[in-house]
Amino acid sequence: MASSKERENFVYVAKLAEQAERYDEMVEAMNNVANMDVELTVEERNLLSVGYKNVVGSRRASWRILSSIEQKEESRGKEQNANRIKEYRQKVESELTSICNNIMAVIDQHLIPSCTAGESTVFYHKMKGDYYRYLAEFKAGNDKKEVAELSLKAYQSATTAAEAELPPTHPIRLGLALNFSVFYYEIMNSPERACHLAKQAFDEAISELDSLNEDSYKDSTLIMQLLRDNLTLWTSDLPEDAEHLTKEILKEFLAGYGNVPDKEKEKKRLGMTQKEYAIGIVSDYDLPLTPEQYIQAIMPFYHDKWLQAKALPGANRLIRHLHKHGVPFALASNSKRKNIDGKVSLQAGWKECFKVILGSDQVKSGKPSPDIFLEAAKQMGADAAHCLVIEDSVCSLPNNFDSIGVKAGKAAGMKVVAVPSFHSEFDQYSIADSVLRSLLELKPELWGLPPFEDWVGNALLVEPVSFRGLYKNGLLHDFADDGPSALPDQVFGVHFGWAKPEAYKFIKIVLGIGWGHGCCSSKRKMQACLVDSSGEQIQDCKMEVVIVGYIRGSCDEGKSDKVEILEEDKSIASAALNLSEFSLGAFKSLFSEVALQDECNLNGKLTSI
């Protein structure tokens, strides 16, 4: 048949054009095949996709470059240059619009009507979502809203078909989830929704990884890696411990209406946009508010919480130490720069201490690419080989024992110290030069930096940490939301401070803070030693604790999860707590009114006797 021969010729020309990197001609050849109204083979479908991706990709890159230059010229007051660039940018936008409209017409008029396989249906609807998304990147106002809605509808159609026709591990279904989540993050400005979609796809694929087709294993695991990398990047744009914080704020807010959160109702809200979330809250708890009024009313609760946010143990100490000794250091994060500035501004003195602050939107590629670290070194005027990276980013894929930050640091040719944010990932940092449980364990002199000078004998004054626990058989257990389990994972090792047991006076306490292991998970294990003769009488007692000092990590330099209290630790703690900087008077105000009143009552009883 002549049409069959023509089809073969067009496909051959497309392959030839691809090798010659003449992608416009590759697209033209594959459009001719599509116009035959036949179902494309997998090879033909991929040729069409690659051709359009490159034709559009080069122009998207041009648009980004021109937009960046235009902004710089405007900021310099060079309006004439900015206007010239604007005209050039609009030309590129016109080309992008034409290309995207062309592929959309081909898909709607020829490809979707001709396809019978579920896989192809998903593929073409996903393509529509992608190319409408490309238009939404540069459109504005109602035009942007219109193409964004079309992109959303296309992605939703693709998702419905994918869930019905393709397994969670199929590379097309995973690629759809990847691009759909990018749409939510970049176009809809909803990192929560993006994270939910990406995590759901990743978790579903992980659960069926054993059944993964050998032919698609490489493609599927690569996309899973990208999903996990995006999750790491996007969660850094969310508030730290956002889920826990949201629960606490909602609990506080609903109390004002005589209500309490319903756990089952709250589970279903994971990943909702702010608007969807507000509608659900107002409806489920029958609040006398509109969704808009609810958002306005609850936002001050969030603002108050962020002002109370604290740095992880040892962070302020390290920043002050390096700044004092004139050691230049940078903050290089996968967050966007505007979000970094917002978080840093809440920490007193941080912004002035960093010589360089960089976000992933200021370099070509974020972590695990080394770009951000190399650029930071360049701006500091430092040799990358002489730089030390301190990383806390999470790992990429299960059984891939390297965090994206550690990968980036090593790829930049730098030394890397990992301080995992989560205890569960401590063993998953295989290429780091050192792995610490806490920044308090860091010894700068091992890395050619000035040693810390703030030890008082063998004790270190730390930023105080308060919590409540149930003292029983030499251990502290949870009995409230603010128990040992609520402490950051990086609170580890032998600490000491002051405790106020119910019906007893204030007492010195030494804590061995480590981890215990059950059959399926790890849990905080906190050994407690009451350094006072009266402590022998105290058992099965609730108490408030304020940690004020640190002695050491585990005996085996952090290799073990267990932390045992030695006699030497008790002596160090007891002596330190007699000093003014560690004294009860310096920290008594951190205890609750209930504890302080109980102390007054005890003193009154003693006086009356």
Q: What is the pLDDT of residues 357-381, one digit of tens each?
A: 998 889 888 788 899 999 999 999 9
Q: Which residues pair with 417 in a beta bridge?
A: 390, 434
**Predicted local confidence at residue 354, as pLDDT:** 95
C-alpha angle 36-39-40 in degrees, rounded to nearest 5: 90
Lowest pLDDT segment from 167-176, 399-408, 590-599: 399-408
What's the CA gap between 87 and 79, in Å, rounded? Answer: 12
Residue 608 confidence (pLDDT) above 60: no
Is pTM beyond 0.75? Reply is no
Measure the CA dihedral 85/87/91/92, to 10°. 30
Measure the CA angle with vertex 483, ends 477 and 488; round to 5°. 115
**Residue 275 pLDDT more than 70?**
no
The predicted structure's pLDDT at residue 428? 65
Q: At what angle do helices 191-207 and 171-182 cross, to 10 degrees?
A: 170
Environment class of 215 (CB within 10 Å of its CB; exposed 0-12, middle 13-18, buried 19+):
exposed
The three-state secondary structure class of 440 is helix
Give the rounded distance of the alpha carbon of 329 from its chain centre: 22
The C-alpha atoms of residue 519 and residue 469 are separated, in whole angstroms, by 24
Looking at residue 316, its amino acid is N
pLDDT number for residue 522: 63
From the list 171, 559, 229, the residue with the least C-alpha distance to 368 is 229
d(CA 442, CA 448): 12
* Cis amide linkage into residue 488, ω under 30° from 0: no
Contact yes or no for 426/435 (Cβ under 8 A): yes
Rg (alpha carbons) of the chain, rounded to whole number: 29
Taking the C-alpha atoms of residue 450 and residue 377, their distance in angstroms, rounded to an integer, is 19
Distance separating alpha carbons of residues 247 and 249, to the nearest angstrom: 6
Which of 330-344, 392-406, 429-443 is the least confident region? 392-406
Q: Mean pLDDT lowest for which of 40-44, 176-180, 417-421?
A: 417-421
Tell whether the torsion through CA atoms of 185, 188, 192 and 193 is positive or negative: negative
pLDDT at 298: 81
Q: Which domains does the chain have, with CATH numbers?
A: 2-232 (1.20.190.20), 242-307 (1.10.150), 316-447 (3.40.50.1000), 455-608 (2.40.30)
Element spanning 344, H or E = helix 337-344
